[in-house]
Amino acid sequence: MSLTILGSGTLFPNHRRHAAAHYIDTGRAKILFDCGAGTLHGLSEHSIDWEGITHVAITHYHTDHVGELSALLFALKHGVLREEPLTLIGPPGFTVFIERLEAALGTHITDPGFELRIVELGPGETYLDSERAVQIRSFPTPHSEESVAYRFEGRGSSIGYTGDTGPSEELAAFLFSCRVLIAECTLTDPTDMKLHLSPASLARMAQRVQPELLVVTHVYPPADPDEAVARVAECGFDGRIVAGVDGLHIRLDEFLTVA
Ligand SMILES: [Zn+2]
Ligand SMILES: [Zn+2]
């Protein structure tokens, strides 16, 4: 099983750090977590089998996380001949969101030429695909009305993804002991903002979660991912930590390999 960071960036234009997108390949399942601006080119740039994506899971409706979902569906409709179904998973309001997207952009959204399965996952609910041995659990985050984090389980490993979130003890408990934690670090300290994480609040959360590896992503300028990693370590997280940059590839075998 492997994880590739396709979009470690933010809403700021940056050709090296596309907006949020993270790709997990278990062999039987190919899952994209979030689909922000730049995802399509990132799939090509990092040689991902985009035609074979089986699931897309969206954390919330901010454009830096969902802006290229329609472009991906458009590419799958007109760019390839596909028979495999595609499952789209999203937070509360997802069914209506998809209907509105279709009303605005056209029928490729719900009729891309193959079976589309829309799954609206309420907070605390679990999605299970036993055929592909995939389990995804969702948990609400203090960020937007509908925002959720995901915990993915497959092939004996678990990956936690915060999406966008403010500090939350409950979220830390939900993500406890996931093998890899992909976490946002939007803010710089000191801050009173409660809708995103900063190095100090991320260090607190990661110290509770105790992942085997922490991937720091969604870092806003003027800070950069390396700087954020240094701050998170200074703030007291003593585990293994790496800067989330586009193209970062992690293999989750017996050992974690980061390339
Ligand atoms: Zn957001
Ligand atoms: Zn965001």
Does 155 have pLDDT greater than 90? no
- pLDDT tens, position by position, 88-117: 999 999 999 999 999 999 999 999 999 999
CA distance 3 to 239: 19
CA of 148 to the centre of ligand 1 (A): 10
Fold of 2-258: Metallo-beta-lactamase; Chain A (3.60.15)
Average pLDDT over residues 184-189: 97
CA-to-CA dists, residue 26 to 39, 94, 117, angstroms: 19, 25, 20
Cα separation, 208 vs 181, whole angstroms: 11
Give 165 Cα–ligand 1 centroid separation in angstroms: 8
Question: CB burial class (10 A; 0-12, 13-18, 19+) of residue 192?
Answer: exposed
- Which residues are paired to 42 by β-bridges? none
Instruction: Report the percent of the chain where pLDDT is more than 70.
Output: 100
Centre of ligand 1 to C-alpha 218, Å, is 10
The pTM score is 0.97
**47 has pLDDT over 90:** yes
Ligand 1 mean position to 176 CA, how many Å?
22
CA of 60 to the centre of ligand 2 (A): 9
Q: Is the pLDDT of residue 254 over 90?
A: no
∠ CA 23-25-27, nearest 5°, is: 165
For the CA of 10, the nearest ligand? 2
For residues 179-197, give the mean pLDDT: 97
List phi, psi (to 5°) of 97: -55, -45
Alpha-carbon distance of 207 to 205, in angstroms, equals 5
CA of 61 from ligand 2 middle (Å) equals: 9
pLDDT tens, residue by residue, 225-242: 999 999 999 999 999 999
